[in-house]
Amino acid sequence: MKKFLLTVFLCAMAVLGVFSPNVLNLSYADDIVSVTVLTPTPLYKQASIKSDLYTSDLPVGTVLTLDNTSPQNDEIFYRVLVYGVVDGASQDDVGYVLRAHTLDSTITSPSRTLDDNGKIKNDNTPVYERVQVPETNNYVYNKVENILLNKDTPIQVLDGYDKNKEYTYIAFYGESGDIVRYYVETSNLSVPGINWSIIVAISTLITCVTILAIIFGIKGRKKKKLK
């Protein structure tokens, strides 16, 4: 019985290993100390695109220090310190910047790698940022200017792949070699690796079950002969 349970456990681990998602080696928000602005972007006073602004146009390259006095739970915005960025701001003043317009500058890019599981199908593929509309709580996808992906650009699917969804969240290497994250139209993606993972997992499970059946079938016949 112990051998049977051990075999089942090993088989389960093998299947789970196949299904485990590829992990992108990026810092989580709690580990990020600062971010760099990638594209001209507003600095909001509240975590809403409808809120008042500190400025409508933070320049590319601006480094913002995150306010990590409490968890960064908002999926759309980073909460940042505005002292030294906004004239007249105190050390306790905070603002909000769209995550999609920034890049983690806490860690240098060579320490991060893209575990790609797909590629872009078409040249000049645009990317989009997802923004929540406060009045409806629905999301809209705004095209990002000045970023177009070439055919065969390697990408990593971050939140699962569903060919029936209009947009998919991906990561890819930016011009400077850093990893950036945006949405693209799913029709512009080629993701062959995901289907193969399912096939391999099913094959592994079938193989394990077959081996178990053979082992316990042989043991059963031996017991009958002894009787």
Kindly report, residue by residue over 17-37, the tens digit of the pLDDT.
Answer: 444 444 444 434 456 788 888
pLDDT of residue 25: 40
Q: Where are the domains of the chain?
A: 24-107, 111-194
pLDDT tens digits for range 170-222: 889 888 777 888 899 999 999 875 444 555 566 677 777 777 767 766 666 65
CATH number among 2.30.30.40, 3.50.80.10, 3.40.30.10, 2.30.42.10, domain 24-107: 2.30.30.40
pLDDT tens digits for range 42-63: 999 999 989 999 998 898 888 8
Cα 153 to Cα 127, 168, 182, 192, 212, distances in angstroms: 13, 15, 14, 14, 43
pLDDT of residue 216: 66
pLDDT tens digits for range 63-94: 899 998 888 878 889 999 999 888 888 888 99
- Report the alpha-carbon distance of residue 42 to residue 54 in Å, rounded: 8
Percentage helix, strand, coil, to 5, in the chain?
30, 35, 35
- Report the alpha-carbon distance of residue 215 to residue 204 in Å, rounded: 17
Kindly state the DSSP code that residue 164 receives in the 8-state scheme: T
- Half-sphere exposure of 202 toward its Cβ, with a 13 Å CA cutoff? 6
- Report the alpha-carbon distance of residue 52 to residue 50 in Å, rounded: 7
Residue, of 65 and 223, whose pLDDT is higher = 65
Is 212 buried (19+), middle (13-18) or exposed (0-12) by CB count in 10 A? middle
